[in-house]
Structure 1
Amino acid sequence: MWLLFAVWLLYRAVFVGAGSSYVTELDGRAAAATHNDFIAGTADFSWPRTIGVWCAAFLTLAVFSFLYRDNAIYKFAESLFVGVSAAYWMVVGFWTVIIPNLLGKIWPAWIQSWAMPGMSPVRDEDWWLFLIPLILGVMLLWRLSPQGAWIARWPLAFIIGSTAGIRLVGFIQADFLSQIHNTIEPVVVVENGQFLLGQSIKNFLIIVSVLAATVYFFFSIEHKGGVGKISQVGVWVLMVTFGAAFGYTVMGRIALLAIRFEFLFDDWLWLIDPAGKRLGM
């Protein structure tokens, strides 16, 4: 079966051109082009982009192979993804955070000479304050040493504490208080002297749902009688909420899966052409 699939792929690649990518020159730069542009003579075949398409297809299938069982190909793709992602974000963080916001503040003339020509070589008056994050960052590197690992606890505690404090304020303002504000709605909605039935029902359901879910979390009161019935309604509200959130998450994952399938069948195998990039094929 795998041999037949390999022969079919070879046939699609050699005689049909599946997986091929093309580039054209646009304002002095190489830009992606379509098969139609290649046929018209305005684009050239690109080996690097073609190899990239085939590598992406291989890694996609390698990840999908986990659906069959755990295997070495999947572990290779997983390790490659984690390693490349970590390296990418390390480089991005170095050039977008450490260079301009730390080293560029302490040694601006040196950073301007080789990294950021547009930066001013003059130090700010409070440049010495940036020595504090520099020292904390160096202390974090002691985590790599078994003897001095305890030194990294101090900057780590500062990072966690300050981040939690900043995020807490933002959460209270953006989520907690806004949720309370959105819950305080009139049960009877009248606009321009006209009773709005739909909006009134919506506000009533919001108020009842919030109160029922709140009663469910009052564990100091025994959930019997009327309180038990209200808490049961709160359970239903919570289940609907969790189900909607889970469905929204699954919908997002299905959208990502559809994008990968479109890549495999369109850009790689050339079995579909929704954008009309290969007219006449």
Structure 2
Amino acid sequence: MSNEVYTIKDRKVVLPTWLDTIIFDDLSASYCRQKKDMVVLEWNRDDVRKYLGTYFPRSYAEAFCIFGDFFSKEKNVYENCQELSIFDFGCGTGGEIIGFIMAVKKQLPNIKKISIKALDGNSYALRCLECILEKTAKILCLDIETNLIPVIIDDFYDMQVVEQTITQSYDFVISFKAICEFVTKQQFEQQNPYEHIINIFMSKLSDKGVICLADVTSFNAVSQDWLPTMLDNASKACNIDILYRNRGFNEDYHITHTHHKNDTSKIAWRIYENKK
């Protein structure tokens, strides 16, 4: 690992040089912002490269900050652990996974192995993630066990396939800026997708397990509702406790890399645990 220092100040993050090289040089990513409700599932290789260069760094910064703060507050829970497991629902190119790994590396140096199961319907995105994870493991000298699952979910009946693929419990179940796509495409009909996801995955947590849901904070033209409001409605409907959450309606995160300085994202997020 290089001598770079990874610090968080006012939720401002600089993408590590080695990671910048992987996504922009090795994988030919480009920066191209989209100002619309996105459906990444339908994107081709060129679309994914634009997504990789624009939204992967944002997700990295968000997860690095959220989990860096989480682990600093919950160190006593994980201080005797050498392994962690994580399931990512709708992982895309996996910026949040790498951000999570870097937060673990910074706050929990005792962790030697991370087992990752990640699901997404876009095969191009999964190929990018596979490459990034392989190189990350080598650079960080970390044992990363990877299981990437290409599954397209058309409606909530397909979630039965997802449940069947999860044959173990996980310390972390995460979903970053993916559930909004189910809202946009009305794939769960009139059900609140956040509520459905929470109810499915709460039973898949280990004794110390938590769920982290993060999403954009826009007004969704299909649901005619603000996405953070839908997230809060789901939180109230499910039998869960909110362990941590963003301040106010949303939080800003800032990421700097070779293709953009101080790029900003706004998300709402919650970390849930089973009721004690």
TM-score of the two chains, using structure 1 as the length reference: 0.20
Instruction: Identify which of structures 1 and 2 has the higher relative contact order when contacts are C-alpha pairs closer than 8 Å and 6+ apart.
Output: 2
Higher percent of residues as helix? 1
TM-score of the two chains, using structure 2 as the length reference: 0.21
Greater Rg, structure 1 or structure 2?
A: 1
